[in-house]
């Protein structure tokens, strides 16, 4: 892109250049959001692909299925730790450059994962890969929302998150098949290529965006001191954990309980991905109408369908139906929870946006750990979804409390604690 100069013939400042590039056509906005969503696609492949290849991973690394579940948890814990820390670090940084830096760290983590010689090293590489996840989604969501404007921000955010959902339709089934045929570690090489492609696309199509005037690390930290935000975090961690308690062990559940032939697992994860795509766009549409209303309805349905899956997992067709419905309803929560957390901390936009993904992956870790524990207790492979249903019920109760706080906040000043 040619950089315009000022009337005096001097190059524009960062702020002036961002303003010039900010006057984008509708087509450029679409391309920019697609570029950002490519990062979500790469993240979705690595986050969910490991679940479809869990049996291959534990065989190669010579560990148990519960230990294999910790490969899910290690990545998720990296997101939990890295999300808010890196977001606060990037508070004053130009957003496109910051997004590219985060994608670079993500790529390095997958290079190390591909070559990890043992289980312990693989855990460390998975943790490193997860560190930039939350901060990337946070900055990508802010960039998309700013480009789309206030009336379409939830739809723009859902479009960025759609990359995560589409990964489960296309990317996860593909890497599951490739991993079964050529080795599960090839998933990491594929994600590495996707990360590099995303960096190129973001650099070409996404405009430069400077943070809001007065943005600072201190301001982001101060802006996090609100009860509504941390209630939202608890809601996301506990409520989302049910979906991950089920999906982390979907491979052994479908083969050992439902009687599915292992070669058909790519179809299962693809079906789950279709549900995620549908739920994500329904959630984006509904969230622009009612943020917490969408959360309450979706999480209530998640609880119902998790319990139904646990009861019906022994029959293949009902198990597939209820798994699909869990995918739809849980994905409705993504744009609504992202928007809710941004709303709860308007003075800390970077941290609040990234905390959604830290909370989401806190749920990922919690769900995988709870699932591993009940399996280790010999409660059976149906038990994780039943435990997850309990978590979703608790999530509904927290959502009702969040609604109470939101109403109090609208009648007075922001409810701080």
What pLDDT score does 127 carry? 95
The reported pLDDT for the residue numbered 23 is: 60
CB within 8 Å of 307: residues ≥ 6 apart: 385, 386, 389
Give the residue extent of every domain in the chain.
Answer: 24-204+217-411
Global pTM exceeds 0.85: no
How much is the pLDDT for 417? 36
Classify domain 24-204+217-411 at the CATH class level: mainly alpha
- Residuewise pLDDT in 10s, the chain (417 residues): 434 444 444 444 444 444 444 466 777 888 999 999 999 899 989 988 887 788 888 889 988 877 887 888 888 888 888 888 888 887 778 889 999 999 999 999 999 999 999 999 999 999 999 999 888 988 888 888 888 776 676 777 778 878 877 887 888 889 988 998 999 999 999 999 999 999 999 999 988 887 665 555 666 667 677 888 889 889 888 888 888 888 888 888 999 999 998 888 888 878 888 898 899 889 888 888 888 999 999 999 999 999 999 999 999 999 999 999 999 999 898 888 878 887 887 777 667 767 777 787 778 778 888 888 898 898 989 999 999 999 999 999 999 999 998 888 775 544 333
């Amino acid at each position: 892109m040619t950089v315009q100069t000022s009337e005096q013939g001097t190059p524009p400042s960062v702020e002036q250049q961002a303003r010039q590039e900010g006057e984008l056509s509708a087509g450029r906005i679409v391309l920019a959001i697609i570029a950002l969503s490519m990062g979500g696609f790469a993240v979705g492949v690595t986050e969910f692909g490991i679940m479809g290849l869990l049996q291959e991973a534990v065989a190669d690394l010579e560990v148990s299925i519960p230990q294999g579940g910790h490969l899910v948890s290690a990545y998720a814990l990296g997101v939990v730790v890295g999300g808010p820390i890196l977001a606060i670090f990037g508070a004053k940084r130009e957003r496109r450059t910051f997004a590219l830096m985060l994608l670079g760290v993500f790529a390095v983590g997958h290079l190390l994962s591909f070559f990890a010689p043992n289980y312990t090293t693989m855990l460390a590489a998975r943790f490193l890969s997860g560190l930039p996840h939350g901060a990337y989604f946070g900055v990508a969501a802010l960039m998309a929302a700013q480009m789309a404007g206030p009336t379409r921000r939830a739809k723009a955010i859902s479009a960025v998150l759609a990359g995560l959902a589409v990964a489960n339709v296309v990317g996860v089934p593909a890497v599951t098949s490739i991993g079964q045929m050529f080795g599960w570690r090839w998933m990491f090489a594929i994600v590495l290529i996707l990360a590099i492609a995303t960096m190129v696309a973001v650099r070409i199509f996404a405009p430069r965006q400077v943070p809001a005037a007065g943005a600072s690390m201190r301001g982001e930290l101060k802006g996090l001191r609100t009860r509504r935000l941390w209630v939202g975090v608890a809601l996301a961690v506990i409520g989302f954990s049910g979906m991950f308690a089920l999906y982390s062990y979907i491979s052994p559940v479908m083969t050992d309980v439902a009687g599915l032939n292992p070669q058909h697992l790519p179809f299962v994860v693809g079906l789950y991905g279709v549900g995620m795509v549908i739920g994500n766009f329904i959630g984006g549409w509904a969230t622009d109408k009612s943020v917490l209303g969408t959360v309450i309805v979706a999480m209530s349905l998640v609880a119902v369908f998790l319990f139904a899956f646990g009861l019906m997992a022994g029959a293949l067709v009902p198990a597939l139906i209820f798994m699909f419905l869990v995918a739809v309803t849980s994905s409705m929560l993504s744009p609504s929870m992202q928007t809710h957390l941004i709303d709860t901390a308007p003075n800390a936009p970077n941290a609040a946006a990234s905390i959604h993904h830290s909370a989401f992956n806190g749920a990922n870790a919690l769900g995988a750990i709870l699932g591993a524990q009940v399996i280790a207790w010999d409660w059976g492979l149906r038990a994780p979804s039943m435990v997850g249903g309990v978590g979703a019920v608790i999530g509904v109760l927290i959502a009702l409390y969040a609604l109470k706080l939101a109403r109090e906040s609208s009648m007075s000043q922001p409810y701080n604690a």
